[in-house]
Amino acid sequence: MSLSELFLLVVLWLHVLAATAWVGGSIFYLLALAPGLRMTPDVPSALSTIIGVEFRTVVVTSIMVLVATGAILAFDRLTEVEPPYAATLGVKVILSVWMFLLVRDREQHLRVLKAFQDPPTPPATTAGRLVAAVSGYNTLVVLGILVLLLSVAMDALFEIELRTE
């Protein structure tokens, strides 16, 4: 294994680790932690806020690692792939940017934390319901799962191309 191949292996490992931390942590947060905190009224809301702030550190770190390693991997792979791979990568990048936008500011993050503590009030308008449907924490988790699925598809496309050369 050459030094450049070892470097790319480490970059790929860091990319997968960051994606796993963010998406896996989000799934745990959504399906286990948040419901548990809601069902335990004697847990102070400050604890939920502290957990959210600490998890945000994981998310921000993951985003930085994903952007850096994703750029390296994209430049490496785009020199050797066919249009289906590039198109899948394009969709993955668009969904990833959407995810990044969902967690972009602290106020939005604190609103998400508060939403887990308070019962939600449904938006009054159709437009408000549509915005709520595509901007909530559930959307973030679904997008993360889709991005991971696209990553697996990209890996399969890359392997297929290697075998057909």
Residue-wise pLDDT tens digits, 30-65: 888 878 887 887 777 778 778 888 888 898 899 999
Question: Given a cut of 60, is residue 24 above it in pLDDT?
Answer: yes
Span 94-148, pLDDT tens digits:
998 888 887 775 555 566 556 555 555 666 777 766 666 666 677 888 888 999 9
Range of the domain at 129: 3-164
Torsion angle, alpha carbons of 111, 27, 59, 6, to 10: -170
Total number of domains in the chain: 1
Q: What CA–CA distances, in Å, run from 100 to 55, 83, 89, 108?
A: 15, 25, 16, 12
pTM of the model: 0.74
